[in-house]
Each structure stands twice: as C-alpha cells, then as structure tokens.
Amino acid sequence: MATDQALLIIDYTNDFVADQGALTCGQPGQDLAPTIVQLADQMAQRGDWVLLPTDVHTPHDPYHPESKLFPPHNVRGTWGRELYGPLKDWYAQHQADATVWQFDKTRYSSFAGTDLDLRLRERHVTTLHLVGVCTDICVLHTAVDAYNLGYQLVIHQDAVASFDQAGHEWALRHFQNALGAKVI
C-alpha cells in the first residue's frame, strides 16, 4: 500500500550527468547514482511513490526561455534525455510498478505545466523527498513550488548536485532556511 511519501528523482539524465552531456554536472552528478538508486529501492520497497520528472525540449525553440540561456539539451528521443547509468536500469526494472512513473516537464519546476500536484493530492502525498540535478535550478524550483503548495520537504544532500558549486551550496542553505526543508 502506497504511503504519503514520494521520492522525486529530478532530471537525472545523460545530458545533465554524463561526461558528454550537453549541460553536465560531471563527476559530482555521476557520484549520486548509487545513492539515488538505493533511495529508489528503499522507498519502492516501502510502498512509497517514486517519480521521475524529466526535462524535455525541442532544439532551438524560439518560444522557450531556456533556448536563450542554454544549448539544446534533453531533446526528446535522444541519448541525452535517457536516464543516466544505473538509474536507467533501475527504471527499466520498475517502470511497470504502480507506484513508479516518469513524466515530462518543460520548465525548471516539476510542477510547472504538469499535473504533478493533482496526482500527489489524489494519492494523499504530503512529504516530498527531492534528489537529482541541478540543486540550484530544477531541484530548487521544484522545492519552492512544493513549499508554496504546502508539501513537507526532505532534501537528500548526498543525492543532489550542480555544475555550479556555489549555487549548490546556496541552494542547500535556502532549502533549510527559507523553505523549512529537512536537509539530510
């Protein structure tokens, strides 16, 4: 039976993590893989929800603000958008589980333009565990929206990373000091 807890594994894709990724965190992101998979296993075994909000884009989209900020990344149907390393294998083994699902997002926040809030409320989820990349971009914007929607937040600091170390450290403090998140 599913619980009131959900793990959000945010944007853990080749483009954000692999050495050849378009916007890679590199080694700090790659080092998260065992911890993320272990958390996914633990939470799935407990009957918690394991969700994989995953960035998706069309290259050079003139209407998307990120097109002006970043090179093309996480393009649908490409290697760059595939889940990274052991998480790809974990998801292949668990994608048919009723408590596991991956969904598209086109903005930094996992809530922006998606039905995530509705689906969480339908399932009586009150606490979100956030992991993935980038700490100071998509994880941060998801956390801010979750806070504004009234969710309790748990940030697993050994399971988030960024290509900007100063931004990563700032975001960890912000989660705790401004959003009341439990940073573990």
* Digit-coded pLDDT (tens) for 129-149: 999 999 999 999 999 999 999
- Model-level pTM? 0.96
Contact (CB, 8 A) for 15 and 22: yes
Instruction: Report residue 66's pLDDT band, with 50, 70 and 90 as the boundaries.
Output: confident
In whole angstroms, give the CA distance from residue 101 to residue 17.
Answer: 20
> Helix or strand or coil: residue 52?
strand
Check if the beta carbon of residue 51 is closer than 8 Å to that of residue 9.
yes
User: So where are the chain's domains?
Assistant: 5-183
Q: Which numeric CATH code is attached to 5-183?
A: 3.40.50.850
Q: Would you place residue 90 in the very low, low, confident or very high pLDDT band (cuts 50, 70, 90)?
A: very high
Residue 69 has pLDDT above 90, yes or no: no
Cα separation, 39 vs 33, in Å, equals: 10
